[in-house]
Amino acid sequence: MSDSPPAVPFLDLQAQYAAIRDEVLQVVQDVIDKQSFVLGEEVAALEREVAAETGSAYAIGCASGTDALLLSLKALDIGPEDEVLVPVFTFFSTAGAVCSAGAKPVFVDIEPEGFGIDPSKAEACLSPWTRAMIPVHLFGQCADMESLLALARDYNLKVIEDAAQAIGAKYQDKVAGILGDTGALSFYPTKNLGGYGDGGMILTQDEQLAAKLKMLRVHGDAGGYDHRLMGTNSRLDALQAAVLRVKLRHLARWTALRREKAQTYCELLAGSPVELPTERPERYHVYNLFVIRAPRRDALREYLGKRAIGCNVYYPKPLHLQECFKDWGYEEGQFPVAEQASKEVLALPIYPELQPEQQARVAEAIRSFYRMRRPCRSAS
């Protein structure tokens, strides 16, 4: 028998499921018994509950977080010849949705601590064709919304918040997703509120915008096959909504546990060579990911992997260096903060079920890596 300690998975969805299994199976069975699988009362109930949880006037379910961005752009009439500011360091869908809407993403470098759009660099990226911006609340912490909203007011820009990783995060006591014109949520299984497949939701305070979004998600149909807009098929499934309604009841407790795990990591890794995430002033971080900045990141990642400790890199390549944007005129070195982040960031395991002994093992492995001496060079 091996004496090696058990693996520390990067994410353990099975542990979460075990705790809520009976609740989930009951609501899934209820949906199957009713044989109503697309939109319907389950989705409407989830929309009401998420709206109440976030303080949003309206919540509109859709097929994914990416579609939440795309439908927002369409509802705000962002399309061909329009430009949209997006952070250059984010998940691809932030820019991909802009391209799918027919508009052009314009990349902006990020702040070194919070990883959001750097407001001091955003204004220089504006042009006469700039119509909107998409601040991303990356890893579970809000971007600098006060500065970005001020810029948006000055230049009459629409603001779509990408809160895919940040449900429940706060900026100045307001929940992520309700500060701009719309906010996009993702219910991908790895999110703090994750379904058992894809799913998304759009938040807005605007009644007319909400009505438009509801049409856009069903081919622009206002009812009775009266197609008033050129929409698409982006409906949320009732099975996903039922599961998410169960999970939503646990979200506040799970978020509190994530924050506790984050504090534990900060204590265990204090004084080590890695740079720890910080909760910026007037923010409430929900730690969808616990991301450190690590010297010799790739070597550390390999070291942890050999010890069965899960970790991941979000994201190894900024958007301007992606193959699909190679002809857009961007060059390596153009966004130095994002490029440096891509070489240093490393996400450690963090989820409500993570045990103290697992965190201690992760921290000790990191400290052990940096204690190792480099081999001495032989005399020539």
**Fold for the domain defined by 251-371:** Aspartate Aminotransferase, domain 1 (3.90.1150)
Residues 252-273: what's their mean pLDDT? 98
pLDDT at 376 over 80: no
Q: What class does CATH assign to 13-248?
A: alpha beta
CA distances in angstroms from 326 to 59, 88, 314, 331, listed in the order given: 37, 14, 21, 8
Give the tens place of pLDDT for each residue, 363-375: 999 999 999 855 4
Q: What pLDDT, on a 0 to 100 scale, did the predictor assign at position 37?
A: 84
Quick one: which H or E segment has residue 339? helix 336-344
Q: Do you find a cis peptide bond into 17, omega within 30 degrees of 0? A: no
**pLDDT of res. 1:** 44
- Cα–Cα distance, 55 to 235 (Å, whole number): 23
Domains of the chain, residue spans: 13-248, 251-371
**Per-residue pLDDT tens for 75-95?**
999 999 999 999 999 999 999
Q: pLDDT tens digits for 188-227?
A: 999 999 999 999 999 999 999 999 999 999 998 888 898 9
**Residue 370 Cα distances to 231, 277, 292, 303, 347, angstroms:** 54, 19, 14, 11, 17
**Residue 156 corresponds to which tokens in the numbers above?**
């009459």
Beta strand 83-87 pairing with 104-108: parallel
Question: What confidence tens digit (pLDDT) does each residue in 296-355 have?
Answer: 999 999 999 999 999 999 999 999 999 999 999 999 999 999 999 999 999 999 999 999
> Which residues neighbour 264 within 8 Å (Cβ) at sequence distance 6 or greater?
356, 359
